[in-house]
Structure 1
Amino acid sequence: MVAQSNPRIVWFEDIGRDDVARVGGKNASLGELVRALRPKGIRVPPGFATTAEAYWAFVQANGFEERMRRLLADLDESKISLEEAGKAVRGLFLHGDWPEQIADEIAAAYRQLCERAGRSEVDVAVRSSATAEDLPGASFAGQQETFLNIRGERALLAACRRCYASLFTDRAISYRKAQGFDHMSVALSIGVQQMVRSDIGGSGVMFSIDTETGFKDVVLIDASWGLGENVVQGIVDPDEYQVFKPLLANPAVVPIIGKKRGGKEQKLIYAAGEKPTRNVPTSKAERLAFVLEDTEILTLARWAAAIEAHYACPMDMEWAKDGESGEIFIVQARPETVQSRRQAAAFKSYRIVKAGRKILSGLAVGDAVVAGRVCLIEDPRDIGNFVDGAILVTRTTDPDWVPVMKRATAIVTDHGGRTSHAAIVSRELGLPAIVGAGNATALLHDEQEVTVSCAEGDQGFVYEGTATFETETVEVGNLPRTRTQLMLNLGNPAAAMHWWRLPADGVGLARMEFVVSNHIRVHPMALLRYDELKDQAARREIAELTVGYPDKAEYFVDRLARGLARIAAALYPKPVIVRMSDFKTNEYAGLVGGAEFEPKEENPMIGFRGAARYYSPRYRDGFALECRAVRRLRNDMGFRNVVVMIPFCRSTHEADRVLEVMAENGLRRGEDGLEVFVMCEVPSNVILAAEFAKRFDGFSIGSNDLTQLTLGVDRDSADLATLFDEQDQAVKWMISSVIAAARRAGAKIGLCGQAPSDHPEFAAFLVGCGIDSISVSPDSFIAVKHQIAAAEAARKSEKAR
């Protein structure tokens, strides 16, 4: 039988995004997906919608309109409370009778849906879709109800009545009032959509933009077992995946730059009886497994990119995986309403200067820092106890919490991911939040003075007491153009995407050791020789960190490749220079399991470090893991913009040995466009610059070490601090000499040190020498850009004279 639409019932394929006034934002978008994107291979479950006309017919048939107006007027005049008004209006709908014709039409459409599915009573999701919802300027997220696993005509009509009533939940009334919508001008459409059996599969939420930084080239996917309400409401800590969009068109690469396994402690499944769904604990195997395979992650990411391209704006989507067929479906799509409206020309940067003891951590939402007093609310019944201006600490939030969240300065929750209710509403309200902290309600207490920091990457931290922090508004719209390239020094993958708006010419220094120490934490040799470890505490910690990795060395390669990928993605396709590990022996020994593999040295600064390690039997196998990670980053993930750099290379003989070992591990200079640079931080690099230039594509001057070894001064010695000067004439001679030698040899040359940030005249000196690039920390970028422009202008003026 061919489904027929009428003024009160329309099938998804007969509506589109221009039909918001008839079927609300949610259903209009579902229709758009079915009509325009299902033909392109994006799977969307079939269904139909009741129209606004059906809603008004229900209201008029029952004579509700005048009573609704009176109740809402009494609320506006404070004659009755919000709770009283909402309960009274909902009561009207819940006790109203269906007009016979509309009930018959809904039942008939349901029977047609059953015929399509080949079942006598197909299970459906019954979703509310208000005519003022999912708009670019107001999301109305979670304001009305959804009912899952509804079967049979009677159950469907009962669920539809409850949908109508949910237009007047307390939270919906409050939200409309805050957004300036007239209650009596908003109607409700009901979407009836065939269920995807995600109760025995998985589901989640997906954004076509990074939700915290607004970085437009990433798809963010959250996933958990069972029906999707747990992810949306923040009841579970989901898996999180990040995919780099610009490389999705290349079928030969897998640009998944982030994979984080969530706790997923419970799942929402079908239930028999009065309640159609129930939460049950997940198994240990489910908690330890990822919900999605890589191929499924890529499929969803490609769909997200296609949906975004069709709508011409960043999108917020819900998806579900059918546990019976294994197929994945998009079940909702709406415009993203926060990052897409942010001003691109300026952003505020926060920096912690001094903080107290770190109490806890979780996922950071936003990028601000807030200090204040805790207001702990464990039970929703105690919402009335919230103190205005406090930091709200609770287990999780749902739409009923929105009025309280508006009065908070920051939010901390035990549970939830980046797409949970708490995260979404916090972004919309412009509040910093930490979600999925695990034990915030156990560790924090009422009136405790704390600082909530979301300014340190994707991990947020709660510090004891009031921290000292700085804020800076970074303007990027009118920066001058310069011949000298200005690049960034980055090490923290979690924070890399925060700086995507800066018009940098690439990353001049990506510190591999930062990724190892913060995201891996284990010495690579301890992973390779795990069975030989004598330190039992280290063995236990490694076993815990590498859960899900049968091959412990793969843990190192996988986490290092993905960590570096996030840095490589931030400024793609511009060059990103990754320095191979440059720990000193005492620093390597501080990694988990590292003490058994490192010698004790009197002066690690000029000891067994850098290039010398890479071909040494003591560390050669560990270096092979680093090479595997970079090879995966460039070849398997597609980041051919990555340049490799070798630190502390003392001689040309050593350079030859390192290049040979790299080639043995699949990193051959010149192959697949691979460039290899060398740090210039030892005087021999300057003296033999022409010879080094034959072996490397470029130099990066490490001014700290070069100053130390040129002047013979320990840079960490307080007694010699006045002698350590990067602007000493001997150091400047070294720098100018190597720049000249590099230019004669046709090699690239840059500097990655702090001096240009601290001393404007040093930047002018480098420009005068003809350096190709300068790389600085992000917080110095604007100032140094102006310094370079001024230096170039002065030089041009001198030449003109």
Structure 2
Amino acid sequence: MATHTPSVIWFEKLKRGDVASVGGKNSSLGEMVANLQAKGVKVPDGFATTADAFRRYLAENGLVETIGAELDDFSKGRVTLQEAGQTIRRAILRGEFPADIAEEIAASYRELCRRADKPQADVAVRSSATAEDLPDASFAGQQETYLNIRGEAQLLDACRRCYASLFTDRAISYRVAKGFDHMKVALSVGVQLMVRSDLGGSGVMFSLDTETGFDKVVLINAAFGLGENVVQGAVDPDEYVVFKPLLADPALKPIVGKKKGAKAIKMVYATGGEGPTKNVPTSKAERAAFVLEDEDILTLARWAVTIEAHYGLPMDMEWAKDGETGELFIVQARPETVQSRREAGALKSYTISGKGRTLVTGHSIGDAIVSGRVCVIDHARDIGRFVDGSVLVTSTTDPDWVPIMKRATAIVTDHGGRTSHAAIVSRELGLPAVVGTGNATELLADEQEVTVSCAEGDEGFVYEGTADVTVEDVDLTGVPETRTRVMLNLANPAACFRWWQLPADGVGLARMEFVVNNHIKVHPMALVRFGSLKDEAAKAEIAELTAGYADKTEYFVDRLARALASIAASQHPSDVIVRMSDFKTNEYANLVGGAEFEPKEENPMLGFRGASRYYSPRYREGFALECRAIERVRKEMGFTNVVVMIPFCRSTKEADRVLEVMAENGLARGTDGLKVYVMCEIPSNVILAKEFAKRFDGFSIGSNDLTQLTLGVDRDSGELADLFDEQDEAVKWMIRNVIAAAHEAGAKVGLCGQAPSDHPEFAEFLVECGIDSMSVSPDSFVEVKRRVAKAEADGRRGAGTVPEEVLKHREEMLDEAIEESFPASDPPAVHWDERV
């Protein structure tokens, strides 16, 4: 007696190994329902039709021969892809479900309605192919999904259309490219209770950074309405980045990135004869707001960590928030297929010069730079005129575009975020892409020569003309370990994740002023005194930049804190030394609203800068905002690896005043483990090193300014360029002596500057002096690390040349200790050795 093979299986009875039966998508849903709901991860209830049901549908409608014949004709060139696909889909849509299968689907739908306590539950009907979500093939968006489906008749029709979508032109083309046998791929249909995200929001998240592969963050994209717009790239979503290692502490909020997307449209339920869904414009209030509150962001990130831990590999997930109940749900999860397959131990470094003017900007996808001629394609029906090797410029892409995306050298879109279809496919194809530009199709023209740059952080650029590009392979295999810590100079939070693979010992210099200039753009005092600003143009610009912030100063604190937290996350738990702002007055004046608050100086390089500003009535309130940002990074976000550094501190008296102001603003040295360093860039820092060491935990030698002030040479003077030499004996004397004095006082000392990168002998000199660390640019890290290792292997690492007065002091202290410890009549035989 034949046993009945079920046509429907409920999610709770499925596991991840059931891909052959219900496809990758549905087997994963079952895995989560069975194993992760108990851990707090919510997944909507539902069931899946089986691959056997699909095969019976084809067999009992006589479709196997039809499909096989059409695909054979296509492979032999007798019909076009479009003709073959259309014939197959029409045949499938004309078919009828075997009666027992139809009844099993309908009965399961009735049971789902009973479970949901609804007479006619609205469901999502999702395709799940038996060859999707594989480690080397994402099949992103290849088959269809139908939302807001109600009733048995609509459900069966949606299932039939899912079956037909297995043979869309794009799906056939993708399988050919990936080498899959069309007839061995079957389709399961997932029927899942709808989450009313049409009234809330939805999106996509990854358990790593999609561009760099940095595996300590969760990336979340969010838009209002149903999730198809985010997946398809039809909307520019919000983006949130969360640091995973600190999520376990419920008291912390390690959200290191929050960017507001345009979110111009949202997909909602349609009424009447419009179909099940439609797109409508978002309100002005929705466009100005974030889709998710911080607690929702953290909940999703924690779920991402739970899901990744269960599967044991990086994951790509879709989520939805119910606008009626406020509940969050995971509606899909699949393995991430690009970064997780990247070759380990290899890193490419791109540098660009001779670039033309910036034409458009958007989200950077990938890390390469390419040049080519533009080919603007407005509609998928026009893809036949695409020129191979061109830069494809279009509004947005869907799976129908994949055949020409494979023939492009780069891709630029008007819409979409880092989890859109264009972004996912570009990564899989290894193509640089700039997505979400807003107006590329308007500003770029056919045949125009451009350079597409995705190697400058998370912002991508399209430059006019052909730029000069240098590509270097950075080999990370066999990088030696060193006693001397080799750290990184990082300032751009948008690019810091790019270097996570370097075995660096932290960040030796993160320049706050770079963040202020590029990510905040407003003078902090113009935010503190916004109400009394005289410059109306500046006031209008500030109002636009700070939209959404009721308190203008919170704009500065929030953006600065998240930017610095990104840098801190990239090297956590190693030290990240953040130098407080060190603009000169002319540079501060160039910030929006800055002219009203800055004096005019003849020589800003030696004027009102660094420590002198922090306690001055002119800037004290601005410095308080800097302190608030650091306090937030350390206490609210949890990045206690952040070390504060004070620049251009001229005297110990000034040091005391700065430390007092910091303490007043929540940054007391030593409290909660806070370390405070001082830049050593003025001769007085060397001369009084022991006194400065009583006030600070460490020194960081700023070799540029120290050279300038030691030699009396303006570092920017073309006339005196030959005299500016960081390896001058006077400068080296300064460095040698401050290292020795710092160590004598128990303080750390490092150097942040370009000299070790440019001059091998300078790196060796620092090792010989016994420096604790040196901080270099990321592109020179590996070479400097090797130079340091060689110097250490040659036995040249020292403790620093100890100044004569220090040696004398040591000898006197030892003599006193000997006299106190031993009777005068029985002195020990003691030999003084400065190495002790």
**TM-score range normalised by the length of the shorter chain:** over 0.9
Provide the rounded CA distance (Å) in 1 between the counterparts of 2:276 and 2:674: 57
**Deviation of the 1:354 alpha carbon:** 2.1
Check conservation: 2:126, 2:190, Cα contact below 8 A.
yes
What whole-Å deviation, never above 9, does each CA across 1:555-614 have from its counterpart, x for those lacking one?
Answer: 000000000000000010000000000000000001000000000000000000000000
Alignment-derived partner of residue 134 in structure 1: 133
Alignment-derived partner of residue 78 in structure 2: 79
Alignment-derived partner of residue 643 in structure 1: 643
**Deviation of the 1:523 alpha carbon:** 0.2
Alignment-derived partner of residue 491 in structure 1: 491
Alignment-derived partner of residue 58 in structure 2: 59
Alignment-derived partner of residue 101 in structure 1: 100
1:230 lines up with 2:229 in the alignment: yes
Provide the rounded CA distance (Å) in 1 between the counterparts of 2:746 and 2:141: 60
Provide the rounded CA distance (Å) in 1 between the counterparts of 2:67 and 2:267: 35
Structure whose CA Rg is larger: 2
Read off the aligned partner of 2:19 and give its amino acid letter. V
Alignment-derived partner of residue 537 in structure 1: 537
Provide the rounded CA distance (Å) in 1 between the counterparts of 2:223 and 2:20: 34
Provide the rounded CA distance (Å) in 2 between the counterparts of 1:655 and 1:129: 65
Alignment-derived partner of residue 173 in structure 2: 174
Read off the aligned partner of 1:522 and give its amino acid letter. V
Provide the rounded CA distance (Å) in 2 between the counterparts of 1:796 and 1:605: 36
What whole-Å deviation, never above 9, does each CA across 1:463-492 have from its counterpart, x for those lacking one?
Answer: 110011211111112111111100000000
Check conservation: 2:768, 2:798, Cα contact below 8 A.
no
Provide the rounded CA distance (Å) in 2 between the counterparts of 1:549 and 1:272: 37
Provide the rounded CA distance (Å) in 1 between the counterparts of 2:437 and 2:735: 48
User: What secondary structure is seen at the aligned counterpart in 2 of 1:198?
Assistant: coil
* Count of residues in Structure 1 that have an aligned counterpart in Structure 2: 796
User: What secondary structure is seen at the aligned counterpart in 2 of 1:795?
Assistant: coil
Alignment-derived partner of residue 40 in structure 1: 39
Alignment-derived partner of residue 814 in structure 2: none
1:328 lines up with 2:328 in the alignment: yes
**Deviation of the 1:252 alpha carbon:** 1.0
Alignment-derived partner of residue 69 in structure 2: 70
Alignment-derived partner of residue 215 in structure 2: 216
Provide the rounded CA distance (Å) in 1 between the counterparts of 2:628 and 2:338: 38
**Deviation of the 1:135 alpha carbon:** 1.0
Read off the aligned partner of 1:452 and give its amino acid letter. V
Provide the rounded CA distance (Å) in 2 between the counterparts of 1:544 and 1:362: 20
Alignment-derived partner of residue 88 in structure 1: 87
Provide the rounded CA distance (Å) in 1 between the counterparts of 2:797 and 2:651: 41
**Deviation of the 1:137 alpha carbon:** 1.3
Alignment-derived partner of residue 16 in structure 1: 15
**Deviation of the 1:10 alpha carbon:** 0.2
Read off the aligned partner of 1:778 and give its amino acid letter. P
**Deviation of the 1:358 alpha carbon:** 1.0
Provide the rounded CA distance (Å) in 2 between the counterparts of 1:542 and 1:269: 35
Q: Matches of residues 142-157 of structure 1 in structure 2 within 5 Å?
A: 142-157=141-156
Read off the aligned partner of 2:542 and give its amino acid letter. I
What whole-Å deviation, never above 9, does each CA across 1:267-301 have from its counterpart, x for those lacking one?
Answer: 00001234100000000001001110000000000
**Deviation of the 1:6 alpha carbon:** 5.9
Provide the rounded CA distance (Å) in 2 between the counterparts of 1:379 and 1:168: 21
Q: Matches of residues 427-438 of structure 1 in structure 2 within 5 Å?
A: 427-438=427-438
Provide the rounded CA distance (Å) in 1 between the counterparts of 2:510 and 2:503: 17
User: What secondary structure is seen at the aligned counterpart in 2 of 1:126?
Assistant: strand
**Deviation of the 1:537 alpha carbon:** 1.0
1:267 lines up with 2:227 in the alignment: no
**Unaligned 5+ residue runs, structure 1?**
none
Check conservation: 2:768, 2:796, Cα contact below 8 A.
no
Provide the rounded CA distance (Å) in 1 between the counterparts of 2:304 and 2:32: 12
Alignment-derived partner of residue 193 in structure 1: 192
1:241 lines up with 2:240 in the alignment: yes
Alignment-derived partner of residue 414 in structure 1: 414
**Deviation of the 1:794 alpha carbon:** 1.9
**Deviation of the 1:798 alpha carbon:** 11
Alignment-derived partner of residue 376 in structure 2: 376
Read off the aligned partner of 1:418 and give its amino acid letter. R
User: What secondary structure is seen at the aligned counterpart in 2 of 1:102?
Assistant: helix
Check conservation: 2:412, 2:433, Cα contact below 8 A.
yes
Alignment-derived partner of residue 445 in structure 1: 445
Read off the aligned partner of 1:131 and give its amino acid letter. T
Alignment-derived partner of residue 386 in structure 2: 386
What whole-Å deviation, never above 9, does each CA across 1:359-394 have from its counterpart, x for those lacking one?
Answer: 111010011000110001112221111000000001
Read off the aligned partner of 1:98 and give its amino acid letter. F
1:757 lines up with 2:760 in the alignment: no
Alignment-derived partner of residue 27 in structure 2: 28
**Deviation of the 1:795 alpha carbon:** 2.4
Alignment-derived partner of residue 604 in structure 1: 604
Read off the aligned partner of 1:253 and give its amino acid letter. L
User: What secondary structure is seen at the aligned counterpart in 1 of 2:795?
Assistant: helix
Alignment-derived partner of residue 826 in structure 2: none
Alignment-derived partner of residue 830 in structure 2: none
**Deviation of the 1:67 alpha carbon:** 1.5
Q: Matches of residues 186-585 of structure 1 in structure 2 within 5 Å?
A: 186-274=185-273, 275-585=275-585
User: What secondary structure is seen at the aligned counterpart in 1 of 2:303?
Assistant: helix
Check conservation: 2:486, 2:773, Cα contact below 8 A.
yes
Alignment-derived partner of residue 119 in structure 2: 120
Task: Give me the CA root mean square deviation.
Answer: 1.1
Read off the aligned partner of 1:485 and give its amino acid letter. R
User: What secondary structure is seen at the aligned counterpart in 1 of 2:42?
Assistant: coil
What whole-Å deviation, never above 9, does each CA across 1:153-211 have from its counterpart, x for those lacking one?
Answer: 00000000000000000000000111111000010000000000001110000000000
Provide the rounded CA distance (Å) in 1 between the counterparts of 2:636 and 2:259: 19
Read off the aligned partner of 2:697 and give its amino acid letter. D
Read off the aligned partner of 2:322 and give its amino acid letter. D
Provide the rounded CA distance (Å) in 2 between the counterparts of 1:6 and 1:534: 79
Provide the rounded CA distance (Å) in 2 between the counterparts of 1:136 and 1:13: 24
Alignment-derived partner of residue 740 in structure 1: 740
Read off the aligned partner of 1:15 and give its amino acid letter. L
Read off the aligned partner of 1:555 and give its amino acid letter. Y
Provide the rounded CA distance (Å) in 1 between the counterparts of 2:271 and 2:438: 31
Check conservation: 2:231, 2:419, Cα contact below 8 A.
yes
Read off the aligned partner of 2:551 and give its amino acid letter. D
Provide the rounded CA distance (Å) in 2 between the counterparts of 1:221 and 1:179: 29
Alignment-derived partner of residue 705 in structure 2: 705
Provide the rounded CA distance (Å) in 1 between the counterparts of 2:511 and 2:128: 49
**Deviation of the 1:796 alpha carbon:** 5.3
Check conservation: 2:588, 2:594, Cα contact below 8 A.
yes
Provide the rounded CA distance (Å) in 2 between the counterparts of 1:644 and 1:711: 28
User: What secondary structure is seen at the aligned counterpart in 1 of 2:427?
Assistant: helix
Read off the aligned partner of 1:218 and give its amino acid letter. V
User: What secondary structure is seen at the aligned counterpart in 2 of 1:494?
Assistant: coil
**Deviation of the 1:344 alpha carbon:** 2.0
Read off the aligned partner of 1:727 and give its amino acid letter. Q
Read off the aligned partner of 1:351 and give its amino acid letter. T
Check conservation: 2:769, 2:797, Cα contact below 8 A.
no
**Deviation of the 1:778 alpha carbon:** 0.4
Alignment-derived partner of residue 789 in structure 1: 789
Provide the rounded CA distance (Å) in 2 between the counterparts of 1:103 and 1:592: 66
Read off the aligned partner of 1:782 and give its amino acid letter. V
Alignment-derived partner of residue 772 in structure 2: 772
Provide the rounded CA distance (Å) in 2 between the counterparts of 1:634 and 1:343: 34
Q: Sequence identity of aligned pairs in percent?
A: 73
What whole-Å deviation, never above 9, does each CA across 1:415-465 have from its counterpart, x for those lacking one?
Answer: 000000000000000000000001101110000000000000000011110
User: What secondary structure is seen at the aligned counterpart in 2 of 1:199?
Assistant: coil
Read off the aligned partner of 2:317 and give its amino acid letter. M
Check conservation: 2:375, 2:446, Cα contact below 8 A.
yes
Read off the aligned partner of 1:41 and give its amino acid letter. G
Check conservation: 2:768, 2:797, Cα contact below 8 A.
no
Provide the rounded CA distance (Å) in 1 between the counterparts of 2:322 and 2:451: 43
Check conservation: 2:767, 2:798, Cα contact below 8 A.
no
Provide the rounded CA distance (Å) in 2 between the counterparts of 1:656 and 1:6: 81
Provide the rounded CA distance (Å) in 2 between the counterparts of 1:360 and 1:648: 38
What whole-Å deviation, never above 9, does each CA across 1:292-338 have from its counterpart, x for those lacking one?
Answer: 00000000000000000000000000000001000000000000000
